[in-house]
Amino acid sequence: MTSISPPSDKHWWKEPIEKAELIWIAIVVVWGIILTLMMPFWHVYGKQNLSSEAYKTTPEVYMKKVQAGVDQYTVRTDNGKPVVKPPVGSDVYMLGRLWEWWPVLELQVGQSYRLHLASMDWQHGWSLQPANLNVQVLPGYDMVMTVTPNKVGEYSIVCNEYCGIGHHMMLGKIHVVE
Q: Along the chain (178 residues), what's the average pLDDT of each consecutive run of 10 residues?
A: 69 83 96 94 75 89 96 94 96 94 96 96 93 90 93 95 93 96
Chain centroid, CA 93 distance in Å? 16
What integer pLDDT is reported at residue 35 of this predicted model?
95
pLDDT score, position 49? 63
Q: Which domains does the chain have, with CATH numbers?
A: 12-45 (no CATH), 53-177 (2.60.40.420)
- pLDDT for 48 equals 66
pLDDT at res. 27: 98
pLDDT attached to residue 44: 81
**Contact criterion met (CB below 8 Å) for 75 and 83:** yes
Q: What pLDDT shows up at residue 13?
A: 75
For residue 63, the model assigns a pLDDT of 96
The whole-angstrom separation of Cα 176 and Cα 178 is 7
